[in-house]
Amino acid sequence: MRWHGLGIALLAGILGVAAPVSAQTGQSPVYVELATDMGDIVLELYPSKAPETVDNFLDYVADYYYDGLIFHRVVDGFVIQTGGYRFDLTPAREPGEPVVNESGNGLKNRTGTVAMARHPDPDSARAQFYINLADNTNLDPAGGKPGYTVFGRVVDGMSVVEAIGRLPVRRTDRFEHLPTETVRILSARKVSPP
């Protein structure tokens, strides 16, 4: 199922976004499709809300960086995370520079939104990202403290996201929530608006 017109507006209201970014600023959202072992996920990205983050993400997509990487962190009711490790659990080299934190852009870590993972340094995000499985307000900026930058949302394939989120996990080496079933991103490609 693809979202069109009213569907996108309704989803925007549910996720706490007043309207599609294009309606607010005239700058159109950008779409990326993640083909995974469990199905396709379409992301709608907001360059007007998080320009540095979206540019950074699209650079990785254009370089085919995400192809073959796995969802290495799955926490049911919290997030699914990818962008850092290969099938054999070796780390992928993140060639880009860290991106500035843009968490104060008004977008919140709500169910179905996409945000950048990072280290304690707010400006340390590179390639890893996660999809929220719940309203994770603890990841939003608060009291002058930066949060985790939301830069888009899932507009198709949320059932795939939820299925990944329900996978059983195990703890091994540095991975605390590694799925027992490996799920890869087969490809990440910029696509036309749905």
Cα angle 28, 3, 53 (rounded to 5 degrees) comes to: 40
52-87 pLDDT, tens digit per residue, is: 999 999 999 999 999 999 999 999 999 999 999 999
**How many CB atoms are closer than 10 A to CB 53?**
27
Q: State the pLDDT at residue 173.
A: 87
**Beta bridge partner(s), residue 131:** 80, 114
**pLDDT for residue 2 is more than 50:** no
Nearest C-alpha neighbor of 98 from the set 52, 66, 46, 148? 52
**pLDDT for residue 184 is more than 60:** yes
**pLDDT for residue 44 is more than 60:** yes
Q: State the pLDDT at residue 13.
A: 43
> For residues 193 and 29, what is the distance between their CA atoms, to the nearest angstrom?
8
107-152 pLDDT, tens digit per residue, is: 999 999 999 999 999 999 999 999 999 999 999 999 999 999 999 9
Percent with pLDDT over 90 in the chain? 83
112: left (phi over 0), alpha (psi -120 to 50) or beta: left
Would you list the domain boundaries of the chain?
Answer: 26-191
| CATH number attached to the domain at 26-191 | 2.40.100.10
Separation of first and last alpha carbons in the chain: 9
> For residues 38 and 31, what is the distance between their CA atoms, to the nearest angstrom?
19
> For residues 83 and 25, what is the distance between their CA atoms, to the nearest angstrom?
30
